Chain A
Amino acid sequence: EAQVTQNPRYLITVTGKKLTVTCSQNMNHEYMSWYRQDPGLGLRQIYYSMNVEVTDKGDVPEGYKVSRKEKRNFPLILESPSPNQTSLYFCASSLFSSPSSGANVLTFGAGSRLTVL
C-alpha cells in the first residue's frame, strides 16, 4: 500500500532531550516536507526536500533540523526540544516538485503528537 509512515505516533519528552521523528515513504517520491499543526494556526511548513541531499527551510524552521540521505526517508530532528515545540507534526510527500508540477498532490502521514515538558 502506498503510504507515508511516521514514528513515533505519540511522544512525551522533556526539555533539552534530543529526539528524532522518522518519516518514510514507499512511493519513490522526490519531494518530502514536514508540517506542524497548532490550534488556530493551521498547518505550517517547517522544512522541505526536493530530492536526496537537497533541503530548504519552510516558514517555521527554528529549532528543527532535517536530513535527506535516502530518497525514502526524511527525519525531523529536534536537537534541544522546548515546550513551544509541543505540537502535532505531519510528514508529506509528492512525486516531484518543480515549476511544471503544479498538479502534484501531497500524501500525508498519520501524524506524530509531540509533548515537550
Chain B
Amino acid sequence: DAKTTQPNSMESNEEEPVHLPCNHSTISGTDYIHWYRQLPSQGPEYVIHGLTSNVNNRMASLAIAEDRKSSTLILHRATLRDAAVYYCILRDVQYNFNKFYFGSGTKLNVKP
C-alpha cells in the first residue's frame, strides 16, 4: 500500500503563506492525493484533492510534482483558524479503493 510521509509539525505566521509538504514515493498511477485537516476537538474535514494537475479551491491549492512522488498543500494566507493537523493521504482506486490511509499528519501552528 502506498504511504505518505509528512513532517510532524510546522509553524507559520498569521497572514503569511504556508507550504505543507508530503512525500509519496511509492504512489501508483491510479492513486488520488487527498488532503484533510483536523481542527482541535473536531473530526477531520476535506481540504482538496488531485490526481496529476495542480488544483485550486477556496480553501487551498495543491501542487503536485511532475513525477507525482510528492505534493504540497499551499495555504495562501494562514489565519489562526488554520491551526490544525493536516493529513496527506492516497486513495488507491485500483486495489483498495475502500480504504483511506491516514498517517500522523503535520501539526500546523499559526502565530499571531
With contacts A58-B99, A102-B91 taken as known, whether A43 is within 8 angstroms of B49 at the C-beta atoms is: no
Asked whether any CB of chain A lies closer than 8 Å to the CB of B104, the reply is yes
Chain A contributes a number of interface residues (CB within 8 A of B) equal to 31
Q: Report the minimal beta-carbon distance from B35 to chain A, rounded to whole angstroms.
A: 10
Which one of B11-19, B39-47, B63-71, B74-82 is at the A interface?
Answer: B39-47
Give the A-B pair count, Cβ closer than 8 A.
65
Interface size class of B (residues with CB under 8 A): 20 to 34
Can you list 9 A-B pairs, Cβ within 8 angstroms, ordered by A?
Answer: A4-B43, A45-B100, A101-B93, A101-B97, A102-B31, A102-B97, A106-B44, A109-B43, A111-B42
Beyond A42-B105, A43-B102, A103-B49, list 19 extra A-B contacts (CB 8 Å): A4-B43, A31-B98, A33-B100, A42-B103, A43-B87, A44-B102, A45-B100, A45-B101, A59-B99, A101-B97, A102-B30, A102-B51, A102-B91, A102-B93, A102-B97, A103-B32, A106-B44, A111-B42, A111-B43
6 closest Cβ pairs, A-B complex: A108-B43, A102-B93, A43-B102, A102-B32, A105-B46, A42-B104
Residues of B within 8 A of A (CB): 30-32, 34, 36, 41-46, 49, 51, 87, 91, 93-94, 97-105
